[in-house]
Structure 1
Amino acid sequence: MEIKITRDTMSDIYFDALRIRNEVFVKEQGVPYELEVGNALEEATSVHFVSYDEKKATGTVRLLLYEDKKSGLVQRMAVLKEEREKHLASQLLKELICFAQKNQVETLILHAQLTARGFYPRFGFVEEGEIFEEAGIKHITMKKTL
């Protein structure tokens, strides 16, 4: 397994991330495509991480850094259905955290789907605030100090 990183929204790596997100969020979870990839500025200013096996792209996550570059939003964590149970999400998140630390990011925030809220505490994320709905799916904010 290899993880590739890009900020280039015209790269093959980015298009692989979009394909995975479309499969997981739009097709599986019913999120409207316009919500999933609705903000071109966020897409262009995010760092996109994509995992690959020997044949294809298998998972993705992105990091949207805030203007201060000291904090960022972890978003769009997705692993193809047939690739789940291979710990790809853990590897992607570890890579993102490592990247954030190397770039002096101090705080990471994410909106965890309630079905995945148990995954993030093992990486140091702590729940914050109330449950809310985003794209028709219940979420909880989680935060990690680096």
Structure 2
Amino acid sequence: MTVKVVENQTELEEAYSVRKKVFIDEQNVPLEEEIDQFEDEATHFIMYHDGSPIGAGRFRFVDGYGKVERICVLKEVRKTGAGKAIMNGIENYARELEIHKLKLNAQTHAIPFYAGLGYEVVSEEFLDAGIPHKTMIKKI
């Protein structure tokens, strides 16, 4: 598996394709909520396996934190280390920028995954796109 910063339109479209399969097709998030006003300011990530896009995510700097967003991997590669790989790629990118505090809004079912990577819950439960979430942070 290879994780990289999106560098061109083709890679961006592949990242959007993975996000649409996971969030829109699987989780019924409306397109206008998934692809939002922050796309142009975000750094996008794409993950490949054998040349095929299998994961995606994005990163922004917001309120003193590196904000990790839209983390997803295709259903067929879940539980293979793909999610950890994309998170490691984004965290390494943050370290290169000397950003030492990360924040994300985790779907509640994914909290154990992020907790295993060192993130801690810092909020009550809230709904985003109709899905229960909690905010989590990590110092790197």
TM > 0.5 fold call: yes
* Dislocated runs of 4+, deviation >3 Å: none
Q: Report the Cα distance in structure 2 between the residues aligned to 1:96 and 1:37, rounded to whole angstroms.
A: 19
User: What residue in structure 2 maps to residue 109 of structure 1?
Assistant: 103
Q: Report the Cα distance in structure 2 between the residues aligned to 1:125 and 1:30, rounded to whole angstroms.
A: 26
Query: Number of residues paired by the alignment?
Result: 140
- Is the CA contact (8 Å cut-off) linking 2:57 and 2:86 kept in structure 1? yes
Q: Report the Cα distance in structure 1 between the residues aligned to 2:74 and 2:112, rounded to whole angstroms.
A: 19
User: What residue in structure 1 maps to residue 12 of structure 2?
Assistant: 14
User: What residue in structure 1 maps to residue 46 of structure 2?
Assistant: 50
One-letter code of the match for 2:58?
Answer: R
Deviations 1:87-119 (A, max 9, x none): 111000011111101111121100000110001
Q: Decide which of 120, 127, 133 is 2:127's aligned counterpart.
A: 133
Q: Report the Cα distance in structure 2 between the residues aligned to 1:95 and 1:80, rounded to whole angstroms.
A: 17
What TM-score results when the alignment is normalised by the length of structure 2? Answer: 0.94
One-letter code of the match for 1:2?
Answer: T
Q: List alignment gaps of at least 5 residues for structure 2.
A: none
Q: Within the alignment, does 1:86 sit opposite 2:84 as a pair?
A: no
Q: Decide which of 115, 123, 128 is 2:117's aligned counterpart.
A: 123
Over aligned residues, Cα RMSD in angstroms? 1.3
What TM-score results when the alignment is normalised by the length of structure 1? Answer: 0.90
Q: List alignment gaps of at least 5 residues for structure 1.
A: none
User: What residue in structure 1 maps to residue 4 of structure 2?
Assistant: 4
Question: What is the percent sequence identity of the aligned residues?
Answer: 32
